A and B are shown apart, each in its own frame.
Chain A
Amino acid sequence: VSAICHHTISLDGYVAGPDDSMDWAFAHGRPTALADETLNRLGAILAGRRWYELAKERWNGVDGIYGGAYAGPVFVLTHSPPHDDVDPRITFITDGIEEAVANAQFAAGEKDVGIFGASLSRQYLNAGLLDEIVLHVAPVLLGRGVSLFGDGSDERVELERVSVAAADGLTDLRFRVVKQRQG
């Protein structure tokens, strides 16, 4: 089971613009071959609380994942799970990242786990748990927003480029995480 973080980013490295805007990400072409390939590999998705709130508000929650093409389980890591009106396909995990990982991996079976959210991706990376990074680079500079992997970590991480492809305006990049800790 591999843990794959999957993001569309602006050329200046943001996964979401000011006010969590995502319009720019959808304005530059349709889902690419790499996006489809990644979707097909996923047996479970692990997301952060912020992703959950946004998805609920904007994309009809779980129904919006990969435009509705994803049908597997979703785990949301949070300290305070909501009490109301929760989609039965979502499991809230409150016991921390190790527990979340174990649950998602178990649910994924032979398939891989998708990691959604910049801060969760960074936590995964720092915990030495992230195996792959799949990015669609949009041809836009946003100037502000939520950075890929957040800011301020002193962990330097070496990557191995697996593939590069141009797909409409987007550029698909796939990397494997080589080394978790250096120096």
Chain B
Amino acid sequence: MSATVLYMSISLDGFIAGPNERVDNGLGDGGERLHEWLTEAEADPAAALVRSGVNGQIVDEFMSTGAVVAGRGTVEPAGYWGGDHHDGVPIFILTRQNPASLKQWPLVTYLNDISTAMSRAKEAAGEKNVLVHGAGITQLALAAGALDEIELHVVPVLFGQGRRLFDGLAAKQIELERIRILEGENGVTHMHYRVQY
């Protein structure tokens, strides 16, 4: 069955972006360090996505999902991925704003409720999984019991400050089941968990 899966690159101390995040500085200061593993030429964010080795396997996995769910905090700095994250799959964006006031893209649907966004995305993805991306949406989806799996790409660096992935969760323990752990290239460790609500 199709699952909603969070894919996030994260520092060992739990940050997904550096400090001073803005629309024109989406990953925060130095945040690109966390995404170096994704591309063939490490220093060039515009380079092609890595498609070989363990890291390539992970990229292939999230690039073959059947729908995308993200928050506006994620898609705005990313320029809405030019309207197409991959292969023309539908994109569901969580926002409290009136959709009519936002930029329109053929593949994008704006929704204001996390559970609706997740179920619509699952429906659209059919047999495939749903790619979930972003910190704010993770917090909402966990609270709503709507996130099925978590795949973290743990980058061997300590940021010390920035934006935390798991900030603002309720002070309630959530149990996980580890279903996979892979040693990627460049010291990145891919940890995959199923959420047990």
Contact = CB atoms under 8 A, between A and B. Distances in A.
Interface of A: 11-13, 17-18, 24, 125, 133, 135, 137, 139-144, 147-149, 151-161, 164, 166, 169, 171, 173, 175, 183
A152 B175 CA distance: 27
A63 B123 CA distance: 55
B161 A151 contact: yes
A112 B159 CA distance: 26
Given A11-B150, A183-B30, 15 more contacts: A11-B191, A139-B177, A143-B174, A147-B13, A149-B13, A151-B160, A152-B161, A156-B157, A157-B157, A158-B156, A158-B157, A159-B156, A161-B189, A166-B178, A169-B177
A24 B193 CA distance: 17
Interface in B127-172: 142, 150, 152, 154, 156-161, 164-166, 169-172
B187 interface: yes
A17 B14 contact: no
B113 interface: no
A152 B160 contact: yes
Complex A-B, nearest 6 residue pairs according to Cβ-Cβ distance, in ascending order:
A13-B14, A153-B160, A12-B166, A143-B169, A159-B156, A139-B176
Contacts of A153: 160-161
Given A164-B181, A164-B189, A171-B178, A159 B157 contact: yes
B174 A156 contact: no
B27 to A, nearest CB: 13
Contacts of B176: 11, 139-141
Contact of B13 (A13, A140, A183): A13
Interface in B52-110: none
Contact of A171 (B14, B150, B181): B181
Interface residues on B, range: 35 or more
B149 to A, nearest CB: 12
13 contacts: A11-B193, A17-B173, A18-B171, A142-B171, A149-B13, A154-B160, A160-B156, A164-B181, A166-B181, A173-B12, A173-B154, A173-B189, A175-B12
A115 to B, nearest CB: 14
Interface centre among A140, A147, A160, by most chain B C-beta atoms within 10 angstroms, is A140
Interface in B13-30: 13-14, 19, 30
A12 B181 contact: no
B156 A175 contact: yes
Question: Which of B13, B150, B166, B189 is most buried by chain A, counting CB atoms within 10 A of its CB?
Answer: B13
Nearest to B175: A140
B158 A157 contact: yes
Contact of B166 (A13, A151, A155): A13
A169 B174 contact: no
Nearest to B139: A143
B187 A159 contact: yes
